[in-house]
Structure 1
Amino acid sequence: MGAGKTTLLNRVLNNRDGRRVAVIVNDMSEVNIDADLVRADTELSRTDETLVEMSNGCICCTLRDDLLDEVRRLATERRFDYLLIESTGISEPLPVAATFDFRDEFGDSLSDVARLDTMVTVVDAANLLNDYASHDFLRDRGETMGDEDERTLVHLLTDQIEFADVVILNKVAAAGPDKVDSARKIIRSLNADAEIIETNHSAVAADKILDTGLFDFYQAHEHPMWAKELYGFADHVPETEEYGVASYVYRARQPFIPERIQEVLNGDLPGVIRAKGHFWLATRPEWVAEFSLAGALSSVKPIGTWWANVPQERWPQHVLESDYIKQHWSEPWGDRRQELVFIGAGIDWAALRSTLDGCLVPAALAAGPEALPLDLPDPFPGWRQVENAA
């Protein structure tokens, strides 16, 4: 049983409030089951509506050209007020949205003829808690975009919820109060802005997802709760009182002791639902490392080098970039810093902050870059510059 996105589509089509609606249904299978369900449950007028099936691929990659052609054709006909695109359940929302800003070799873009209005994600309240705690890869669930698809279920769920304007929390009656409460906390920990609509059988009024004007490509990058906390967006209002979700940002300048911070980041973090940020190690003063945790899965990877490790003559000359470096510069470490955000319910922040403080190299042992204890045991895997990697 799915989360209910096809049921939602059928309900909207049957309660359109006079809108003329075109539908694009996308499915990874050779036989487009979702499109068959839409046909079975919905009357699609030959004159007022149309159903375009796009099978055997995903909207954001192999079918991008087809999507461009179909949306442009439907817009040119001027017979429709609204276009619903049901993307495959395993597609990532950012590439789908980017399709509307993409310009082809002739300079044509969907944004010339259509406006992306609302990104909607449907979540199964009964299964979200278990799915979010899963270690499964998509291939373990029998759904991938090809042999090289190494994505996990948790990362897909996180991407889809973090990017949504509206999250339909479906099957709340079947889930029960405890699972619904957990699902609310997960959703709000991932996305600070999305409207959460709780429902059964995808019973949602059409005006909740049509003509909302909610989508903004640039603001969509600010939806994730971790981004608001880490970068301090001014319009962010904490959701602690409404959802029982709290967020905390850890900041420090001293480097981490590799063994200690690895043990903490890989260990139990009670109450933490989402965590993200960057940090640096005493043994690798040139590297910016990124930590990301969603559900039961966490990762650490290098994402670049600190400007403090780059000769000043190679620094950017653009005023905005120069100001950014100055804003984050503090002697003796330059722009090197620890910035990690932890979001969840029931986090003992005082204890977690104390634990993280205990991972820092004491100032007495590392007063500056020239005095770093580079010989500390370092259990992290080797990192190499991309251009030097085999």
Structure 2
Amino acid sequence: MTTLAKVPVTVVTGFLGSGKTTLIKHLLANPNGKKLAVLVNEFGSEGVDGDILKSCADANCPAENIVELANGCICCTVADDFIPAMEQLLSRRVRPDHILIETSGLALPKPLLKAFDWPEIRSRITVDGVIALADAEAVAAGRFAPDPAAVEAQRVRDENLDHETPLSEVFEDQIACADIVLLTKADLAGAAGLETAKAVISAEMPRRVPMLPIVDGAVDARVILGLGAAAEDDLAARPSHHDGEDDHEHDDFASVVIDLPEVSDIDALVASVQQLVREQNVLRAKGYIAVSGKPMRLLLQAVGERVRHQYDTPWGTKARQSKLVVIGEQGDIDEAAIRTGLGL
């Protein structure tokens, strides 16, 4: 049977390493009876998050319902990438009940919402809600700006100048567009950190929205799916630093993909990544690593100096090829120095 009802779409946004993929993995495992589809967009030519999610595919969200768009912000490549990808998901033999869009950590959500007005899809889908994830521990420490104290001091000296960094603009745009804010890594932030993070976010919000602390992406699907926000019709309530502009640029950020040989000492690799964060101002690093003598691939993810790693799935018939995606601000990323730091 066909239906005229629009398919609801939830946009999951959040800064680099805030836990978007972890949240979507939890929703895939606990869909509350819904058949899901996922569109995942990454910054950089090598996608990691899409591969992570495909390893979680099941009857409620088969692998064919997980579509990955890498090397390009979907809100900047609407006609070429976003619209065809959405049409692909909507044409599945069994139409999904709900579509999740995981934006890249550098994406501005409001231009994406505007894309839902395109004739090809506007009668078929609606933005059920925008979920913004914020790393509570990082926000409490002011890490969304390289040096918040220095920025504030400059602002006090000259109130007519905008001294905000690209990182803080991305953070503020994501928060301002949200229907619900999830404060991730609440266990690491602690009670005091959560209160600080809530205060910081509340100061940036154009309107009052719920803020929920979560750990490891665990939140009831009933809380964040089915909001009925129709966010594409509510753009005026979601201000952006880029309002009035035709598009936005990602030239403030850069990514490099590093091929690595098999690793025998994981601790040494972690130490090298942490040193790169300190010396090269790396924002995010993620990738799959082949470990000598191990049949399973190692998923490594770094947010600042916090590096997490775990074995996820066997390599199987895939080539045992280690790749690490490194993302940072333009001018800070030196590929040669990164390769040297990793012993290449």
Range into which the TM-score falls when normalised by the shorter chain: 0.5 to 0.7
Q: 1:45 to 1:20 in 2, by over 3 A?
A: closer
Contact 1:27 1:55 in 2 (8 A): yes
Given candidates 203, 207, 213, the residue that maps to 1:198 is 213
Matched ranges for 1:228-377 at <5 A = none
Given candidates 74, 81, 89, the residue that maps to 2:97 is 81
In structure 1, the residue matched to 2:338 is none
Given candidates 178, 185, 190, the residue that maps to 1:176 is 190
Q: Report the CA distance between 1:74 and its aligned residue.
A: 2.1
In structure 1, the residue matched to 2:49 is 34
Q: Match of 1:55, as an amino acid?
A: A
Q: Match of 1:54, as an amino acid?
A: L
Paired with 1:87 and 1:44, the residues of 2 have a C-alpha distance of 24
TM-score, reference length from structure 2? 0.55
Given candidates 107, 110, 117, the residue that maps to 1:101 is 117
Paired with 1:51 and 1:59, the residues of 2 have a C-alpha distance of 15
Corresponding residue SS for 1:121: strand
Corresponding residue SS for 1:201: coil
Given candidates 78, 84, 88, the residue that maps to 1:69 is 84
In structure 2, the residue matched to 1:161 is 175
Percent identity, aligned pairs only, is: 30
User: Any gaps of 5 or more consecutive residues in structure 1?
Assistant: 103-107, 137-149, 226-390
Q: Report the CA distance between 1:40 and its aligned residue.
A: 2.8
Given candidates 128, 133, 141, the residue that maps to 1:122 is 133
TM-score, reference length from structure 1? 0.49
Q: 1:159 to 1:201 in 2, by over 3 A?
A: same
Contact 2:116 2:232 in 1 (8 A): no
Contact 1:44 1:51 in 2 (8 A): no
Q: Report the CA distance between 1:29 and its aligned residue.
A: 2.1
Corresponding residue SS for 1:200: coil
Q: 1:112 to 1:128 in 2, by over 3 A?
A: same
Q: Would you say 1:187 and 2:201 are equivalent positions?
A: yes
Contact 2:57 2:63 in 1 (8 A): no
Paired with 1:158 and 1:175, the residues of 2 have a C-alpha distance of 20
- The structure with higher relative contact order (CA 8 Å, sep 6+) is 2
Higher percent of residues as strand: 2
- CA deviations on 1:282-303 (whole Å, 9 max, x unpaired) are xxxxxxxxxxxxxxxxxxxxxx
Q: Report the CA distance between 1:215 and its aligned residue.
A: 3.8
Paired with 1:89 and 1:100, the residues of 2 have a C-alpha distance of 20
Corresponding residue SS for 1:176: helix
Contact 1:25 1:85 in 2 (8 A): yes
How many residues align? The count is 208
Matched ranges for 1:19-58 at <5 A = 19-43=34-58, 50-58=65-73
Q: Report the CA distance between 1:133 and its aligned residue.
A: 4.8
Paired with 1:224 and 1:213, the residues of 2 have a C-alpha distance of 20
Contact 1:135 1:152 in 2 (8 A): no
Paired with 1:47 and 1:172, the residues of 2 have a C-alpha distance of 31
Contact 2:37 2:61 in 1 (8 A): no
Q: Give me the CA root mean square deviation.
A: 2.7
